[in-house]
Amino acid sequence: DPTYNRLTAAVEAQNWKDAFLAAHTLKGVAQNLGFDRLQKSASALTEAVRGAVPLTDESLFEEVCKDQKEIVEAIEKLD
């Protein structure tokens, strides 16, 4: 799923509309897959940039990155 990459690109470009859409999508994907921590961190980020508001708390994005990384690493260990 390219959603995380879209989120990262949008945050780096400070494109808050696209960041909102990507964070919202990531939240839904995480919820559907049972990735509770990622769902919660993506939800917090979604609310922070709702309405194309600039992100003022970088730790929200950092938490999403941390949670995403942990999930990817856990999945890679399954191989």
| Domain spans of the chain, in order of start | 3-78
**pLDDT tens digits, residue range 18-77?**
999 999 999 999 999 999 999 999 999 999 999 999 999 999 999 999 999 999 999 999
Q: How confident is the model at residue 4 (pLDDT cuts 50, 70, 90)?
A: very high
Please state the separation of Cα 68 from the chain's center in Å. 8
Note the pLDDT of residue 79: 73
Note the pLDDT of residue 1: 82
Cβ contacts of 13 within 8 Å, gap of 6 or more: none
Which of these, 37, 5, 1, 43, lies nearest to 23 by C-alpha position? Answer: 43
